[in-house]
Structure 1
Amino acid sequence: MSIEIRDATVMAEGAGARVKRHLPLPAFMNFDPFVMFDHFELGPGTGFPEHPHRGFEAITYLFRGEIEHRDNLGNVSTVGPGGAQRFTAGAGIVHSEMPSVEETTSGIQLWVNLPRRLKASEPAYEEAPAETVPEVAFEGGRERRIAGEGGRVTLMTDALYRHVWLDARGRHAIDLPAGWRAIVYLKDGAARINGQSLSPAQAAFLDGETRIELEAVDDSEVMVAAGRPHGEPIRQRGPYVD
């Protein structure tokens, strides 16, 4: 069992987009089953024009603004804050994600690898408007369940994905099956993860931990992604994960 705290790398991506990236980086390409974790920010006229993908699933979850997805399957859809879009690249998909409002659009894009037996799956798309994403209150905070048990979005990998708000001094725990890995990202505030401090844009990478214990020092927003590793070699080259 281990926990490693990592800083984000700020970089350019797409057409004028800025991202705080944790995966993939030259020294830290992936964290099976996760192969990308970007906190993106798009100004007017920037975004992710048409491009191809293969071999994984992706969830785009919005904090603010609005984004439009178009793909070669004929899907055209738009989601706003608290909404999500999931595509299964599988054997191959071509899509774009562009802001559809004249204001800053920001969110997280998370890529989840597909196991080899599912790499050639038919590509697919799923829209999850904000009002369809379940929200659960608890003492000291609340969480939106984007994917996994009780969540709105479906994935082919055993995984969960949550957006958690904690009041100052609030606590929350998430139990994980044995052998899972997790990424805990602090969007805003100050918090401790299993006793280790996190600052904004830092992420904790948990390997083999069966419980995530969150404790807010100040009002905080946290993203939690956890999943079962596939345990297979990952060949990751730009937009393709083979």
Structure 2
Amino acid sequence: MKRSIDQIIPAIETSDGAGVRILRSVGQRQGLRVDPFLMLDFFSSSNPDDYVAGFPAHPHRGFETVTYMLNGTLQHRDHMGNEGTLSSGGVQWMTAGRGVIHEEMPKQQDGLMRGFQLWVNLPAAHKMRPAAYQNIAPHQLPLITLPGDSGEMKLIAGELTLAAEHYQGPVAGVTVDPLLLDLHLQQGASVQLPLESGHNAFIYLYEGEAEIGDRVLATDQAATLTQGSSVEIKALKGARLLLAAGRPIREPVVQYGPFVMNSTEEIDQALRDYREGVLTEGRGY
């Protein structure tokens, strides 16, 4: 059964970090999460005033962040001494687990800075696991050409079988078995993508106009999808979009800023741990 659009979520402009201009769609309020996905931010600007202040040192606990750069360069540092550069086409999948204190700062003073940050929840049994990283260079992402040169896609996470060919994204070992891909379609082209039945899914259109079922999705809109085993996407104009699907966790979600746990008591503990300088040590409750 093909999936259709369940709800359209227009992105709203807001700011995060030290004043970075972003568009937030999924997760802009509690009722607009798509289990297991908590939030999606899209940043896109050639004005350095919109991004140069970056994201100075800040904590996380209880979930994962996925940063996917389309254009530009960010530098990452954390409390463990890890340091790296995320450039155009690269991905960092960070498991905050019991605690990370990190910063993400632009390594450019001008030019286009464009990309996504996706927050992925962790089940209760994994929220206090040690921090971990998967840093994916641009050349590690499989680039899949669609039949008839109608478009292409980059597969970030998960498995996909298309036209009898099987593809595997480089991100591995993620609890919610995600599928995450960046799809580009030429005007008038369409593609049907298989999706795991029972997994929740959404699409974010960041360029052009697309049709799913009998509904049209415009630029900077997210669409949550109904259940089914596939989705057919048609580009009414040249379309570029991010598709995310994953196994729902179905647990309580209590969020306070950069902490995402299952109860207010766990949030209170995370705040105490941060104030006392032991957030990353994973002190028990």
In structure 2, stretches of 5+ residues that fail to align are 160-167, 262-285
1:7 to 10, 21, 25: 10
**As a proportion of its length, which structure holds more helix?**
2
CA separation in 2, counterparts of 1:95 and 1:195?
A: 43
Map of 2:171 onto structure 1: 153
Contact 1:82 1:129 in 2 (8 A): yes
The letter for the 2-side match of 1:81 is S
The one-letter code of the counterpart of 2:15 is A
Q: Which of 113, 121, 132 in structure 2 is aligned with 1:113?
A: 121
1:65-85 Cα shifts (integer Å, max 9, x gaps): 111111112211112111111
Q: Which residue of 1 aligns with 2:64?
A: 57
Distance 1:206 1:219 in 2: 21
Identical amino acids, percent of aligned pairs: 38
Residue aligned with 1:4, SS: strand
The yes-or-no answer on 1:205 pairing with 2:205 is no
Query: What are the Cα deviations for residues 133-169 of structure 1, in whole angstroms up to 9, with x where unaligned?
Result: 1111112111000111211123222111000000011
The more displaced of 99-108 and 53-62 is 99-108
Q: Distance in 2 between matches of 1:186 and 1:58?
A: 20
Higher Cα radius of gyration: 2
Distance 1:222 1:171 in 2: 13
Q: Tell me which protein shows more strand as a share of its residues.
A: 1
**Where does structure 1 differ by over 3 angstroms across 4 or more consecutive aligned residues?**
none
User: Residue 192 of structure 1 aligns to which amino acid in structure 2?
Assistant: E
What residue in structure 1 maps to residue 141 of structure 2?
133
Q: How many residues are treated as equivalent by the alignment?
A: 242
What is the match of residue 40 of structure 1?
43
Q: Residue 168 of structure 1: which of 177, 181, 187 is its match?
A: 187
Matches of 2:201 and 2:94, distance apart in 1: 21
Query: What SS does the aligned partner of 1:153 have?
Result: coil
What SS class does the counterpart of residue 28 from structure 1 fall into?
Answer: helix
Contact 1:181 1:209 in 2 (8 A): no
Match of 1:124 in 2: 132
The more displaced of 6-15 and 95-104 is 95-104
